[in-house]
Amino acid sequence: MEQELRPDKSGYMLMNKPGYPRVSSWPHLIWLIFLMMLFITIVLWAVSFLAYAPLEEMAEWAKTPNPAKAPWYFIGLQELLVYFDPWIAGVMLPNQILIGLILIPYVDITPSEQGHYRWSNRRFAVAYFTFGIAFWATLIFVGQLLRGPSWQIYWPIIDYDISGHTWTREGVPLKQGGLKLASMSTGTGMALIIGFFTIGMILPFMVTKLFPKSNVVKALDKYLKELGYIKYFVVQSHVLMMGATVMKIILRLGFNIKYIIETPWFKI
């Protein structure tokens, strides 16, 4: 049974069975590739004739621009610097993202759901991945388009002209980041983090035990059983890490909390 579900040989695929609609690569696939290349070349040419690649003044160590922004694909990490120290935002989280991505195929438990955009049997996986992508896109959006001098929020139109590229308006001073931030006491912080991860780890099991067996709870129960403890631990650690990242952002924005834990060596 297990063997049947696992398409370890591509021979399991419908596509390789006799009678499945297949066409010769020449000309169908080759034609498509040719058109794609033509299309991309034309678009790239058109863009390159119309829009100039940016070139600012010559690099100068003594003249730090404010703000100094990372390229857009890394700006999500820079945006996280508002909420975390660099060792988390710039080192731990990107590594966690890469490891998490690599692990996806190995914690998957619906091997047969492939080859189509049909998500009814993998709702959780799709929801979690989509949330991650949306989170990443939001951070890029905020960092790239809303952050101005001193990494403060500057709203287009309200704070500056979109047509110009400057945040300074006559008579309007630049925003200052003078927010008073507090840190939690070490005890509270430790309790909060340990509590969050412990409860987070056992919560799904508690839900299946304590709540009435509605359809959602039944589905959760089935999912947990199929996943097994090891995969569950791997998946849930990543879910909780992402959850913790979001929680810290909420604590910082909503309650002006700078650090949850402060030790002489590191701060979280």
Q: What residues between 101 and 120 interact with another protein by CB under 8 A?
A: 101-102, 104-106, 108, 110-117, 119
With the C-alpha atoms ordered 195, 200, 206, 211, is the resulting torsion angle positive or negative? positive
Q: Is 229 or 265 the residue whose CB approaches another protein more closely?
A: 265
Number of residues that bind another protein (CB under 8 A): 84
Which DSSP string do the residues of 97-128 spell out, in sequence order?
HHHHHHHGGGS---TT--SSS--TT-HHHHHH
Cβ neighbors of 179 (< 8 A, separation 6 or more) are 256
Is 27 a residue that touches another protein (CB under 8 A)?
A: yes
- CB count, 10 Å around CB of 216? 10
Q: Is 129 or 154 the residue whose CB approaches another protein more closely?
A: 129
Q: How far is CA 201 from CA 96, 108, 158, 205, 240, in A?
A: 18, 19, 44, 8, 8
x-or-dash string of contact with another protein, 68-87, rule CB under 8 A: xxxxxxx--xx------xxx
Question: How many residues would you count in the chain?
Answer: 268
184 within 8 A of 210, measured Cβ to Cβ = no
**Pairwise CA distance, residues 177 & 166, whole Å:** 18
Please pick, from the candidates 83, 89, 208, 260, the single residue that binds another protein as defined by CB under 8 A. Answer: 89
x-or-dash string of contact with another protein, 227-266, rule CB under 8 A: --------------------------------------xx
What is the separation of C-alpha 85 from the centre of its chain, rounded to a whole number of angstroms? 18
Q: Is 84 or 208 the residue whose CB approaches another protein more closely?
A: 84
Q: Is 117 or 229 the residue whose CB approaches another protein more closely?
A: 117
Is 45 a residue that touches another protein (CB under 8 A)?
A: yes
Please pick, from the candidates 18, 19, 47, 170, the single residue that binds another protein as defined by CB under 8 A. Answer: 47
> Of the listed pieces 121-129, 168-176, 190-198, 236-244, which binds another protein according to CB under 8 A?
121-129
In angstroms, the first-to-last Cα distance of the chain is 47
Q: Is 60 or 170 the residue whose CB approaches another protein more closely?
A: 60
